Amino acid sequence: MQDGGSNFSMKRRDLLRMIGLTAGSAAMYQAMSSLGFAAESKFKQTTGLQGAPKGASVLILGAGIAGMVAAYELRQAGYKVQVLEYNHRPGGRNWSLRGGDSFTEMGGLTQHCRFDDGLYVNPGPWRLPYHHHGILSYCKKLGVPLESYVQVNYNAYLHSANAFGGKPQRYRTINADYRGHVAELLAKATQGGKLDAPVSKEDQELLLESLREWGALDKNFAYERGTTSSNRRGFDKDPGGGLSARPVPSTPLGLKDVLGSRLWSNLSAGEIYEFQTALFQPVGGMGRIGEAFGRELKELIRYNARVTAIQQDDHGVSVAYEDTNTPGQTLNARADWCLCTIPLSVLAQLPMNVSQPMTDAINAVPYAASVKVGLQFKRRFWEEDEHIFGGITYTDLPISNISYPSTGFHSSGKGVLLGAYIWGLNAYEFTAMTPEQRVRKAVEYGNQIHPQYKEEFEHGVAVGWHRSPFTMGCFGVWSEEARAQHYDNLCKVDGRIALAGEHASYLPAWQEGAVTSALDAIGRIHQRAMSGATA
């Protein structure tokens, strides 16, 4: 092996660190890190702001997570706070769709969710990593109960339309066979003396022992059909009791078939920092967090308020808005300071007198396209027929993946799947469809993995984030070049205006980014307010 033309060398700690990694994990982690997904939350504790100047006021634009965290903390510090929110509900992208809900996307198409009681889909965020301490701390403060979220399920599927005749393979099968074959190849290289230079004799013996364990190899360091490999990939006939108790081992897939399928590319999903256990979800849907904030802040939030212009002067900030229930009349709100959490995709279209560097920063961040489709079925066939309890099936079909509910296990009756989480060009294609067409296509594609789909399907909803009037996209996508040039200018207090949200963080698309961004911004507003600063 060579790197950049240099002769290969490997220190002991480097070699041991590599054991257990798949080829796909490094590539995926690198890609995720470039988007900021895998960055660590810097949250330590809430701001502890106190002693606001007498009569000082802050106007917050947006009652998403960033806006409501800011309102919560600023109120605690003694500021007069008002929040303007476009929607009729709190939460922003923190949102769960349940039976009886409706929403209208850009273009005027309205969907009515008809899920049964207790069933829901999260169009936006759906997972809470254990190390996102900020959002978890507010769940605790607000009394939002949490439950485990299943990210990796070894009995879910990895699927490619072009591999194994389009037949989905169990995650455990591909995982075991990929690791087994790789372990066997490395064991042969070790036994053949190929690692004599970089690895000591003692370490070679330890390496072989670890490879046998890691790859489920037999006594000859071969990955073969037998009890050892079947304990990883599953048996053709499981062990039982009585005269029919004997298990029947399964036969591993060939290395060429495993590699050619490219199904290994999804094995690393659960190893990415953000997706490592434990993960959580609010009981009843992610929207329970936004709803709890809304109950806490109550009259501080004015709903159905569409901001149309933002203007600052030496003494404060004035915001023009209209009531979406009675459009046409311009209303005004004013405060000493303004924290704006409006997504940049929307904010870029509003008149606002900030500096040229902040204006350039606002215009520098495009928003990702994404579509989520929730599907209700007559029964939980994935549990009853295929014994899949939570987790995610990955596919190269346009739907990208299917996520199984991590709650209500073994319950009778109906269930809701996240039937598609679509990105990139496929997301643009789906966004151009009507909601009914998106749902129908998700069922058609999903039926290639679960043939029960068409018979068991009842109805669904499909949220295309580029048609969301309050975001016009899913989340901000920074390039490395844009961050280097514009990120600091976006986050600085500009006169009497500061911005916050996942777009003003190194955790884009995560609620933790919104929390930490808001706390940072209000801390700096507070410093300026305490110093008596003007614009």
Q: At residue 26, what are phi and psi to the nearest 5 degrees? A: -65, -45
According to DSSP, the residues that pair with 83 across neighbouring strands are 60, 301
Pairing of strands 80-84, 301-302: parallel
What CATH homologous superfamily does 57-89+288-366+477-531 map to? FAD/NAD(P)-binding domain (3.50.50.60)
Overall CATH class of domain 97-156+277-284+368-467:
alpha beta
Cα–Cα dist 387/63, whole Å: 40
Cα-Cα-Cα-Cα dihedral sign, residues 478, 479, 482, 486? positive
Q: Which residue blocks in 65-116 are alpha helix, DSSP H? A: 65-77
Cα–Cα dist 137/501, whole Å: 17
Distance from the Cα of residue 249 to its chain's centroid: 37
- In the DSSP assignment, the letter for residue 343 is -
Pairing of strands 80-84, 57-61: parallel
Cα–Cα dist 105/441, whole Å: 19
pLDDT at 48: 78
pLDDT at 220: 95
Nearest Cα to Cα of residue 292 among 510, 501, 61, 91: 91
Cα–Cα dist 255/258, whole Å: 5
Cα-Cα-Cα-Cα dihedral sign, residues 164, 169, 174, 176? negative
pLDDT at 47: 64
Amino acid type, 97: L
* pTM listed for this prediction: 0.90
Cα–Cα dist 273/54, whole Å: 44
Angle at 42 between CA 38 and CA 47, to 5 degrees: 150
Q: Which residue blocks in 224-282 are alpha helix, DSSP H? A: 227-233, 255-261
> With respect to CATH, is domain 1-34+172-261 assigned 1.20.1440.240?
yes
Q: Is 67 in contact with 518 (CB distance < 8 Å)?
A: yes
Task: Using the structure block, give the residue that is written with the tokens 């240099």.
Answer: 6
In the Cβ-directed half-sphere of 342, how many Cα atoms lie within 13 Å? 30
Cα–Cα dist 417/438, whole Å: 15
Q: Is 361 in contact with 486 (CB distance < 8 Å)?
A: yes
Nearest Cα to Cα of residue 521 among 175, 69, 147, 183: 69
If DSSP codes are grouped into helix, strand and coil, which group holds residue 149? strand
- H or E stretch including 339? strand 337-340
If DSSP codes are grouped into helix, strand and coil, which group holds residue 159? strand
Cα–Cα dist 197/456, whole Å: 60
Cα-Cα-Cα-Cα dihedral sign, residues 4, 10, 13, 17? positive
If DSSP codes are grouped into helix, strand and coil, which group holds residue 155? coil
Tens digits of pLDDT across the chain (535 residues): 334 433 333 344 444 344 434 333 333 333 443 344 455 677 776 667 899 999 999 999 999 999 999 999 999 999 999 999 999 999 999 999 999 999 999 999 999 999 999 999 999 999 999 999 999 999 999 999 999 999 999 999 999 999 999 999 999 999 999 999 999 999 999 888 877 777 788 888 999 999 999 999 999 999 999 999 999 999 999 999 999 999 999 999 999 999 999 999 999 999 999 999 999 999 999 999 999 999 999 999 999 999 999 999 999 999 999 999 999 999 999 999 999 999 999 999 999 999 999 999 999 999 999 999 999 999 999 999 999 999 999 999 999 999 999 999 999 999 999 999 999 999 999 999 999 999 999 999 999 999 999 999 999 999 999 999 999 999 999 999 999 999 999 999 999 999 999 999 999 999 999 999 999 999 999 999 999 865 4
Task: Using the structure block, give the residue that is written with the tokens 């996209």.
Answer: 473
Nearest Cα to Cα of residue 519 among 511, 171, 38: 511
- H or E stretch including 184? helix 171-191
Residue 156: both structure tokens together: 């879910």
Spell out the domain ranges in the chain.
Answer: 1-34+172-261, 57-89+288-366+477-531, 97-156+277-284+368-467
Residue 102: both structure tokens together: 């409706």
Residue 439: both structure tokens together: 């749902």
CB atoms within 10 A of CB 106: 13
